Amino acid sequence: MLRSATLKLQPAPIAVADNNRLRLFSGSANVPLAQEVARYLGMDLGPMIRKRFADGELYIQIQESIRGCDVYLLQPTCNPVNDHFMELAIMIDACRRASARQITAVLPYYGYARADRKTAGRESITAKLVANLIAEAGASRVLAMDLHSAQIQGYFDIPFDHVYGSPVIIDYLASKQLHDIVVVSPDVGGVARARAFAKKLNDAPLAIIDKRRQAHNVAEVLNVIGDVAGKTAVLVDDMIDTGGTISEGARLLRQEGARQVYACATHAVFSPPAIERLSSGLFEEVIVTNTIPIPQEARFQQLTVLCVANLLGETIWRIHEDSSVSSMFR
């Protein structure tokens, strides 16, 4: 089910009808989210022709004048990553050549974010390459949500705003009034994220799953650091891909005596066999956001999808008005 964000943002609905310098366009990756963002901003999505030629090449044309405008292009670079990324690059280039004053690439999900370092010789740091290509295409600014690693911000030499989906998830969890919560990081690398999440959940205690990965998309879970017996365990991660890490973690938490297990993640990548793993009965609920569109056939009974449109809309408005973005997360 799709739920509206309960994030408490300041005043009355924004109306930008009088402010004709702000333009919002959507790529094909997540049009419903872009429409919700436009609704929050009190405007329509900009008109655009998008078509694919017989040989697979993309054609994009902006259908209104954007000369001197602040243009926001919303496109998560989710599966198929390369198609969606190329579409974003073409949109940026089209806007640059149309004399837009400022072009902001809005990436609710940043593809290739896990390729953020070299772990062996002769590898590409693809997250850095993506950053170079976005800047070279002509973007003046980037807005992204819940990067896999925050260091990716440093790959850009243009302004970068990094926002978090956690306030939406935390508000939803608070509304459920769960008792004896322990926030669990599914691996050592996610401890900082889980600690920040736990602090917002009335300083809930923290547990960590110690894990060693033997190959890509294969996780081996070893043991739990912390007390989870008889408690409601909330597993927190930035994304769920194949679901291996988080389902193995949930199985271990059940063995260690956790009373209930919830999974929370901003990005629902859901590569096979994620659906089978997540719907196997290990979780009371799997809570994600709509940064990536989830097709109907990928939905299951325990899944709850929260909407981050209000959060993105508020961020876009604050960037446009030169207001503070970080104050939204204090």
Please state, for a pLDDT cut of 90, what percent of the chain lies above it.
88
Per DSSP, 212 falls in state E
70-74 β-sheet, strand order: 22-26, 70-74, 102-107, 141-145, 160-163
pLDDT in tens, 226-266: 999 999 999 999 999 999 989 999 999 999 999 999 999 99
Looking at the predicted structure, is the pLDDT value of residue 214 above 90? no
Distance CA 61, CA 91 (A): 8
Domain boundaries, the chain: 7-164+310-329, 166-307
- Please report where in the chains the tokens 């702000």 appear, as a residue: 22
How far from the centroid of its chain's Cα atoms is residue 205's Cα?
A: 25
Taking the CA atoms of 272, 256, 232 and 301 in sequence, report the sign of the dihedral they define.
positive
> What pTM was computed for the model?
0.91
- Arithmetic mean of pLDDT over the chain: 93
Instruction: Give the number of other CB atoms < 10 A from CB of residue 244.
Output: 20
The architecture of the domain spanning 166-307 is 3-Layer(aba) Sandwich (3.40)
Which is catalytic among the residues 51, 118, 199, 211? 211
Please state, for a pLDDT cut of 70, what percent of the chain lies above it.
92
51 is catalytic: no
What one-character-per-residue DSSP string does 153-181 give? GGG-SS-EEEE-SHHHHHHHHHHHT-SSE
Any residues with CB less than 8 A from the CB of 316 and at least 6 apart, and which? 22, 24, 37, 41, 72, 104, 106, 143
pLDDT at 191: 94
pLDDT in tens, 65-80: 999 999 999 999 999 9
The architecture of the domain spanning 7-164+310-329 is 3-Layer(aba) Sandwich (3.40)
Looking at the predicted structure, is the pLDDT value of residue 293 above 80? yes
Looking at the predicted structure, is the pLDDT value of residue 173 above 60? yes
Distance CA 48, CA 277 (A): 39
Please give the C-alpha separations between residue 198 and each of 183, 194, 326, in angstroms, as whole numbers. 6, 6, 19
